[in-house]
Amino acid sequence: MHAVDGLPDARFVGFADTVNDFEIKSGQLALTKSQNELVRGYATRAVAEHTTEGQSLAKNRAEAGVTRT
């Protein structure tokens, strides 16, 4: 894919936010449903990492002046 074929910035940011939110909610769900310590450990790390990534995306989006659609 060439850069000119990419999504407009706002659509890309919206897509990235949606995927990141899904990862956080999936990890939270795993924490409420699973008693397996390996699953819970992975879910805990996933929630923490994707929360940090979401904060970074929001900061970068604001600095670039891009709104989410």
Condensed to tens digits (0 to 9), the pLDDT of residues 20-38 reads 999 999 999 999 999 999 9
Half-sphere exposure (Cβ direction) of 57: Cα atoms closer than 13 Å:
20
Task: Estimate the crossing angle of helix 37-64 against helix 9-33, to 10 degrees.
Answer: 160
Sign (positive/negative) of CA torsion 26, 29, 33, 35? positive
Are the C-beta atoms of residues 10 and 57 closer than 8 Å to each other?
Answer: no
**Stretch 50-59: mean pLDDT, rounded?**
96
Which of helix, strand or coil describes residue 67? coil
pTM for this structure?
Answer: 0.81
What does the domain layout of the chain look like in residue ranges? 9-63
